[in-house]
Amino acid sequence: MKKLMMWLGLGPDEAYEGYESRGDEPVLRGPLSSTEFAEARAVAETGGTVSPLHTRTKVSRSVRTLPAEPTGTVRPLQPAVTAKPTTVSPTSFDDVQQMADRFMAKQPVIVNLQGVEADLSRRIIDFASGVCYGGLGQMERITHQVYLMTPSDVEVSEEDRRRLAD
């Protein structure tokens, strides 16, 4: 704790006895070149008079500011693509690669998990939902153990949705 207080400058005054007070030296402000700095330091050390230095501001004549112009350009969003879904019926977890590849190729995927054991079905659903989340798509349940993975900017037609529900 004492080290922290000393580091912050909150220690007793005896700790600072070895330091010289620099309060009587002039404080130089503004940008100085090395020659100006040396001259000012020499004058300060000899006790001579110090003349104030003026800050030099250089303005580039080649740069000028232009007023902002409103562009007013509004670009429409790309319309959603309608695509026919592909059906995948995985029998092992090794089959999910095909499912993810088709989804990443912007093709809707129907995942049919009917007849798959419960633990494997849960793992495949978890993987598929992660792929949908990472690809900014969506996943919805069509019927018992049948899911539809739809990539972003892709729509499945109402006719295909009705056919899937049957």
* pLDDT greater than 80 at residue 143: yes
pLDDT 10s digits, 88-122: 999 999 999 999 999 999 999 999 999 999 999 99
How many CB atoms are closer than 10 A to CB 31?
A: 10
In sequence order, the 6+-apart residues with CB closer than 8 A to the CB of 116 are: 90, 91, 124, 145
pLDDT 10s digits, 60-93: 566 677 777 766 777 776 666 777 889 999 999 9
Mean per-residue pLDDT for 134-144?
91
**Residue 163 to residues 85, 109, 137, 142: CA-CA distances in angstroms?**
11, 14, 21, 10
Give the pLDDT confidence score for residue 15 in this predicted structure. 61
Give the pLDDT confidence score for residue 67 in this predicted structure. 73
Give the pLDDT confidence score for residue 134 in this predicted structure. 92
Give the pLDDT confidence score for residue 36 in this predicted structure. 66
Of how many residues is the chain composed?
A: 166
Domains delineated in the chain: 81-165 (3.30.110.150)
Is the pTM higher than 0.75? no
Give the pLDDT confidence score for residue 84 in this predicted structure. 85
Residue with tokens 């030099």, as numbered in its chain: 56
